Chain A
């Protein structure tokens, strides 16, 4: 329902009950504020947004005053201004005048509003308050004397991060924002308190004193360390990335990003970065120019394919590569007659892959997860795997009182209320089968023999029945299969049972994949069983099968096999690589990698190359190069293009990465990006029961070669584990 109100003499309509500040923000009317933040609750404690409301005896805080019929508001009247100026004077009483050495200078709300509402001089002559500094760990720097007690960081901890680590202790003059005891801030979303702090009390520790806000150029980009596709802003100075901050996208990440996305840039300039092409000649590494390197590479590939056959070539691409890189990698590989291409490094069970949808993902926007009423999380430590998706799950528990059930092999600490937790350290399938059994028995579903045999031994408890009942309500519900499940040796069974549960409880099924861009990999055809956009192809070797036998040539793009591939640190895998011609297209090279590689082509880092990322819900997001490719390194899509030309692959004359993208999107046409997933079409009896073997999934700060090199992240509590 709308009401008629008047703001600064202008008549308009606004939604009844909306806070005044939301209405003025929509209209672009400036109302100064410190404590109000649109993604946090209203606390109305800074009093900076006082405005005059007709018939109200005193000025009212715009952030906590709902609009009502006939309300007349003045945001810039003498009375409003006087109130705002008075508040500003109080706020400045204890604030130090250290803007010249403060990192927030130039992007500081207090600084900006003091220009508009502050007096040139203060009436205050007493001593200013000084607060002893805190140590919040390696990510957040503090200067608590600058704090104006807006409590945004306190509310962020309580409402968004879900662990209250910061509070307001003491009272009156002695009130302090802090942790009270000496302690680091351990939330995986902790960096956001830097973005929301309206003053310089909380700033980025790794960024401290590196650049001033006004010197830097801002570039829009996407975070690539998980499948969320969070929006970020890269800030650069003199061609170097200085920091990453959150960019608002209310469909994906609200105003937040994970610490992993915020601080991963620290890994970009690691000493392992290489800048010159290198070839191993009789055991010794020689630096060569690009022409020689590429000609030699093409020759090696050609020889292998020519003498042994195309099946002796395998290409392995990082799941963080761009859509363009995936497409060109598979185009070159398939152009040579090989189907051995994969990006699924953290998967061992590939059975039932033929039934995969266009790409495994989410059939709704990331934000819509917060609208669900029940969610079943299978094999997922979601907080550490996709922190922003975990945030949306948490929002569902807050907004809708959603019931969350977890099926895992161990207990994981979550930052939301969990309705039922099934943690069987033997395997996760038993609990899934029990859930399926509840459905079969209650709804008298006809299932085939193999299925009924599988569920026959499952032990059903009240908790299983409760979880199914929660999923089965008429409201929206979601079944999520997470990264941990994908690492399991019976992933295909998990998929099928998850799909069964989702279908029969009328829930959506979602797969949260590894890496930042696996949706692109599927769509571009960087999987061995399919070409671009679901074109059926002959089956090639999967990431695991590639190392089951001797191949002649491996092309490996931005992967540290020993760390990124499940089981990649085994002697056998390294042996195969050492015997074969191993071509690394890589930004980083370690001594270990030099042992098994034959050719090293220095790749530009993702921020130095244009490209497209498709997130878990199918949203395309293209990014320009943020900085130039360093020294002699080259964007990976260009390396593939030249290799393709040298290997006489047809139609490889792309002038820009956009042309590559357009070609993929042409093939994609109007195929349904959100095609539904139903692995039940796959015959279950083809997937025999396998003993589960346990792989330790990658830790939150071990997911890719860039994050692993971000030293500040490694020093956090999560990084130490």
Chain B
């Protein structure tokens, strides 16, 4: 290790009164790493440059903000990220379409099922495949459960960020129960890899809808309890109202989507405006904020949880027994029973997993309303079993860009509240 840049020498610890030379790290060329000095500025010597982060991966993920602060006020800042970059887009060009399902879990790991479903829908759209009704219902329910998990984490962690720790624990139990429901579907809790192109890994177990129903009942009670506990809390309101404001015009200019855009007053929900699956038949409302501050983002998420519960309830009533796999032989994985008893099925199975299936030439951009916003997959196929270009549009990438304009001029603690409210997930930020 070169000791030149270790620690934060020169930027913290030496506060007021330190000469510019003393604040410079050793061995750095003169003039490069100094704060510009203005002798007429009364606050000149109190400015320091600090690293806010890199945050612990278990918080929001690893990223940092470098800020020039004056006292507690952020005057100027920029964001650095990429610590979780795993080259998913490159992997998408070098793995088969089937193999890539696994990588989509690790995008927004708080709502992995939404990524699975969005990816499967993207490839199905490219191939012109239709999935049966039961498969669609299960996918929809999985998406809504994931959305609730994601929102529970976001509002819970957001409250922890402003100092209300116990609030998080109210939602945490229901989150665990939701993961148990997901575990009943696919055996995994966090990294689900549940969908397949043209179907699902397993059918939902018998009586799963009833488990979901009782979970809905309990979650509705908990959501109301959380709402009563925090929404009108005076300290919470003072910490969040008029903090991190972003107007409707700004939100559209920075390509905001999902709850963050709706909190700014953008009346837009892809589930309603660009319907896929059975969403057109569902009865639900789109929550919209007016102020675009941290408190509105919190309110929109709480209301969206209620609407998701409403959608889930309707799904529970309407889901029917039936096949979960498309009849299309190109993508359908042969059943284990056939693989073990028939030679043709075994060859098909071997070919499927060793070389993958061919996707015809074409390109499509498929967007789905993820928990954070528009989750998009832009896939260009030139034929063959892997994509020519696998572009992943993660909403966090576009939201995080707006953190700098939102945080500048505010206090450090406000920046933390803002960061929690736009729910940056490093997995889909860095991809």
Chains A and B come from one and the same complex:
no
Give A contacts to B, CB under 8 Å.
none
